[in-house]
Structure 1
Amino acid sequence: MKDEDIIALLGDESTHEQAFRMILKTYKEKIYYHVRKIVVDHDDADDVTQETFIKIWRNLDKFRGDSRLYTWLYRIATNEALTFLQKKRKDNSVSIDDNELLVASLESPRSDAYLDGDEIQVKLQKALLELTDKQRVVFNLKYFENLKYEEIAEITDTSVGGLKATYHFAVKKIEEYLTNH
């Protein structure tokens, strides 16, 4: 299904449910993996993805077409993921700054399509855990999603210049981590 077809359905309130089903079918997996790269943990990513789609459902009538559909969806998902991380830090139920549990989970053998246990993949994931939330989001969108800076700027509501600097610092941190570990 093309975004244009979904947007056409959003133009009529009577077809919002159909549009939402199409959004879910088209973007559920992409949104999950986008969120997963930010929050890392599978269960957390599931929760955030669910909250993202609830927010999308509640705000379908607010999509005006000023941005691309995927940009709007990714902005909601990114904001939900970052809000989740902030809440998790605030609740301090598990210190997100203490990455030992996440690193241990990366090293343990498991059947997970996202983290396959490959040594290079594990090293990269560990390096990503060293980034700030914003650096991780920008790096993921640029490197893994292959988005242009202008698209990332729409999603993150940040200037292109700021994004380039953030991406540059993220790459440097990752290079440094991979060199030293």
Structure 2
Amino acid sequence: MSETLEGLVVKANSGDKKALEKILVEIQDLVYNLSIKMLLFREDANDATQEILIKIVTHLSTFNHQSQFKTWVYRIATNYLLTQKGKKSKEYSVSFDEYANQIDAGLSDNVNYTQNEGEIALLEKEVMFGCTQGLLLCLNEEDRMIYIMSVVLEFNSTEASKILDITPENFRKKLSRSKTKIKNFMSNKCGLVNKNNPCRCKRKIDFLIDNKIMNPNNLMEEKYYHRTIDFTDKIGDLQKTMAIYQTAPKMPAPDTILKEMKKALRLN
């Protein structure tokens, strides 16, 4: 039977470096995925993940075992991400109206970059992920985190409110507001949510590549998209919007993060 994280914490706090390394291995993906969903850009997510892991290690002795260790990790991660804005994510944060104008720009009926259907399908997924995650940057930091915790990570209001240190009622109120903003935007712009809208992920491929917003040589791998979208006319726009966000890829943290942490903590 594998050892619990809580048991590893006890050992790590007693000076066991192997236990500390196992903790980092177990939580790095959790921290990285929250960071990239909050900040969008991999450079920002990498930096944030390292900083959060350092905070976790340096404050490990303060974990009081009154909650699950991962809940405590999420609390530290969310506190950091709500106060420390990524450089690129801050630069690309715009209003909903400004983002609507960006969505309308550069729609093309053809994909000139490639004729390979498999590559086009992967590029479409990359566009969908980038577009929907970019839309979250239109929300303020707290509302964005609340939306991610509920819709993307699927925490219930009791769990998420404890992590964010707000009341469940306040969490639900803010979540409802964010859901409405995102749903209204996608209902008016996204062709996946409303087939009458002209925007399609495929139609944005060339524009995003030509303007160096998307790098076709640095795409997320197909295997990280853990759900597929299968919409019917029977579900509403809110359910479609949430389903799109729930297809967001879950990716492993880059190997360089653990290597840097082990080096800094002298775990080698």
Equivalent AA in structure 2 for residue 166 of structure 1: K
RMSD: 3.2
Distance 2:186 2:134 in 1: 9
Q: For 1:179, which of 182, 187, 195 is the aligned residue?
A: 187
Flag as ranges the 4+ runs of structure 1 deviating above 3 A.
94-101
**TM-score between the two structures when normalised by the length of structure 2:** 0.55
Aligned 8 A contact 2:146 2:171 in 1: yes
Unpaired stretches in structure 2, ≥5 consecutive residues: 107-112, 114-121, 190-268
Q: For 2:160, which of 152, 170, 179 is the aligned residue?
A: 152
1:5 is matched with 4
1:137 is matched with 145
Aligned 8 A contact 2:92 2:137 in 1: no
Mark the CA change 1:24 to 1:116 in structure 2 (over 3 Å): closer, same or farther: farther
2:233 is matched with none
Distance 2:29 2:16 in 1: 20
**TM-score between the two structures when normalised by the length of structure 1:** 0.78
The Cα of 1:78 is off from its aligned counterpart by 1.0
Distance 1:81 1:30 in 2: 13
Aligned 8 A contact 1:31 1:74 in 2: yes
Aligned 8 A contact 1:9 1:15 in 2: no
Q: For 1:165, which of 166, 173, 194 is the aligned residue?
A: 173
1:80 is the counterpart of 2:80: yes
Aligned 8 A contact 2:78 2:164 in 1: yes
Aligned 8 A contact 1:16 1:60 in 2: no
Between 1 and 2, higher relative CO (CA 8 Å, sep ≥ 6) is seen in 2
Higher helix share: 1
Among all aligned residue pairs of Structure 1 and Structure 2, give the percentage whose two residues are the same amino acid. Answer: 27
1:128 is the counterpart of 2:130: no
- Kindly provide the CA deviation profile for residues 74-127 of structure 1, in whole angstroms up to 9, marking residues without a partner as x: 111111112211x869xxxx64544789x79xx9x9xxx9x94244x3442233
Distance 1:134 1:50 in 2: 21
1:61 is matched with 61
Equivalent AA in structure 2 for residue 179 of structure 1: S
Distance 1:165 1:19 in 2: 40
Unpaired stretches in structure 1, ≥5 consecutive residues: none
Distance 1:15 1:9 in 2: 11
